[in-house]
A and B are shown apart, each in its own frame.
Chain A
Amino acid sequence: MTKLDIHDDWLPLDNAAKIYPSTASIKSPAEFRMAATLSGPVRLLYLQSALENTLPRFPYFQVYLRRGFFWYYLQRNNKIPRIELMQNVPVGIISVKERTAAMLRVSARGSDIAVDFSHILTDGNGGLRFFLTLLAEYVRLSGVEVSAHSNIFDLNQQPSPEEFEDAHRTQFLSGKTVDPGKMPPAYHVPGRVFLSKRYRLLNGRAPVAKVLQLTKQMGVSLTEYLTAVYICALIRIRKEEMEHGKRRRRSIIRMEIPVDMRRYYQTASMRNFSLFLSPEIDMKLGEYTFEEVLRQTHHSMQLLKSRKELQRQITRNVGAEFKPFVRYTPLLIKDIVLSSVYARLGEQLHSGVISNLGRVDVPDEMLPFIDSLYFMLNPNHVMKKCCAVLSFREELSITFGSVIESRSLERYFFEQLIRNEIPVSVKEL
């Protein structure tokens, strides 16, 4: 096993990131965006300076992707990317296979600032902390001191070795465990994917207090509630398809729910440390009411996110990486095998994804500068849609990404919220 030395000029990929370079493509982008709308126009000079001050504090993000003989690795560099003009297409493709392509991109337009991250670098939590640190530095350069906060890094401190570590490996339980088991392919929303690289975003906003009050009454968590709403929207679409005489559709509706493992394990790692829950329902078992879907989602997610079940996933994922056959297979062959296996098995397993970053807190001094925060995911061409959620101030922000024209899923999703007496305002980004 390669030991991590933070003084080396390179870094091995973390366990979760290892698959992305082989599988990332326009059809299956592994990227996400953190964005903010400021209360005034972006001061470009300040933003560039803020980036120059912030990025060296995160050396594990200041990297290029390079090919090794057995694995990809991250080559460190000292370059600070220039601020780019935010494109109309919210999240473009970061070409990770270019030799000197930055793995994150900071862009601005008007009052909007966005940072696009490749998932090879980090997960949503790591991305959020970088983004908030960048915003805090921008605010500080604007003349307002920002007080210390857990989400914001001190730029005068050196990065700790723990920030570099692959937390999957540190939590790896040696020895064999029973695999989580094979899952049959899941149902996917129909629709022709846009021919261009563009995709569209729809953002819905709801008062977070109202939603939490509702979920409290129902005895479920916010993520469970939103997952159930998403599943019900998928059920309606599937039912409509069947009524219109479409051929038999897959009966399993299965969601992909990322879980931030930092909630379970003490780690300062800034790299990927997330796993997925996969609650599902089988439409062969009959019609489901919303309440039934909610109960089933709640109970299955409670079971799936037990510490031991998640440990099982870690052990399987890291154990696969440690197999001599996998380790010593040349990268060229790994690329071919991983991309074909991922296309046939990985992408087919889930009908949709909801990633909930939870509540985002910032120091009070920053609040006057920020109107709203956004979290966006790149949908792949199999699921076609995805949903990213965060709450900031009093608002719950739900952003759907879509690579198809149809808006049925989003419509059914927000209709369910409104049926539950939650006021929602929707806009296209």
Chain B
Amino acid sequence: MPICRNCGVEIEENLDRCPLCSYPSREVPAKGWPFHRPEEAEPAGRMNAKDRKQSHDREESAVPLESAGPLETEGQLKSAERDDRVRLLFAEVTGFIALAGGVVVFAVDFAYGMAVTWSRFPLAAIGFVWILMSIPCWLRRRIYLIICAETCNMILFLFLLDAFTPDNLWFMSLALPITAGLGTALLLTTGCIRRFRLSVLGSISMVLIAMGLWILWIEMLINRFLDGRVYVSWSLIAAASVVPIIAFLFNFDWRLKKHGSNLKKHFHV
């Protein structure tokens, strides 16, 4: 077969131009012919098969393969200890800040002969925020316990606010059921997401469902509080407006799972 005079590869016969470099097969190459074969390296002494095997073994043994025992978790233990230390430090810092704030408020109140009418509100708020931030540290990743504890904390805070105000009318009829409803909705939503291992879109849909139900619950409580009877109006429209969004998200999720590839490849995480 003829050899291209420009790039040096063998080409088929009867071709006018090289398919690789398009150089006309009959022309003389330009000055500074770029094709060159690297010069031969200095010949090295030949090895026999045994030498090659030894060399190969030597290279292989250069990277010792350690015993493939179970991978120990010393690092994980250290990491857990470090996490504990961080948690403790966080609790100390937030506790100190809360205590400092509480002491300042109390000192002001004390200085004025315990006659500051608003001082109990910041004290309750400081206590609420401190507990709110500390609960995830204390309970770590126990999500259901965290939700219950945070709900109780919120209820306690609202109870105190209600107790500090002269006409304590709204805690039992509004704050308690609304907060309890929120806590229940959070628990159920979390439970469903975990139980059914919902995807991101499924989880968002679940949250929207819970929000829709919760605003219905809120309006029923408000109407009972204001008018003395239970009915829904605006919350029904608000809840209904999220239905198309939920339907779209569920449908999108279903299409992702069924036809998968085309959408999944764009949105894979």
Contacts and interface: CB of A to CB of B under 8 A. Distances in A.
Interface of A: 1-2, 5, 8-10, 12, 37, 40-45, 47, 66, 68-71, 73, 75, 83-86, 88, 108-112, 173, 175-178, 203, 205-210, 212, 215-216, 220-224, 259, 263-264, 302, 305-308, 311-312, 315, 327-328, 358-359, 361, 371-372, 391, 394-395, 423, 425, 427, 429
Given A109-B7, A207-B45, A259-B63, A68 B35 contact: no
A212 B20 contact: no
Interface string B169-202: 0000000000000000000000000000000100
Contacts of B21: 85
A395 B44 contact: yes
Contacts of B19: 44
Interface stretch (B69-77, B88-96, B115-123, B245-253): B69-77
B141 interface: no
Given A222-B59, A259-B63, A263-B65, A2 B268 contact: yes
A12 B268 contact: yes
A32 B196 CA distance: 46
Contact of B266 (A69, A88, A391, A425): A69
18 contacts: A1-B269, A8-B261, A8-B264, A12-B268, A44-B12, A68-B268, A70-B268, A108-B9, A175-B73, A176-B76, A176-B79, A176-B80, A205-B41, A205-B42, A205-B44, A221-B59, A221-B61, A221-B63
A42 B80 contact: no
B262 to A, nearest CB: 8
**Chain B binding site: helix, strand, loop or mixed by DSSP?**
loop
**Chain A binding site: helix, strand, loop or mixed by DSSP?**
mixed
Contact of A44 (B20, B34, B38, B60): B20
B1 interface: yes
A218 to B, nearest CB: 12
B269 A9 contact: no
Contact of B62 (A173, A221, A391): A221
A358 B268 contact: no
Interface string B257-269: 0001100111111
Interface stretch (B50-58, B218-226, B231-239): B50-58
Nearest to A10: B265
B229 interface: no
Contacts of A86: 7
Contacts of A212: 54-55, 58-59
B41 A209 contact: no
B26 interface: no
A321 B20 CA distance: 43
Contacts of A84: 20
B111 interface: no
B10 interface: yes
A2 B261 contact: no
Contacts of A173: 71
B227 interface: no
B3 interface: yes
A73 B45 contact: no
A7 B21 CA distance: 37
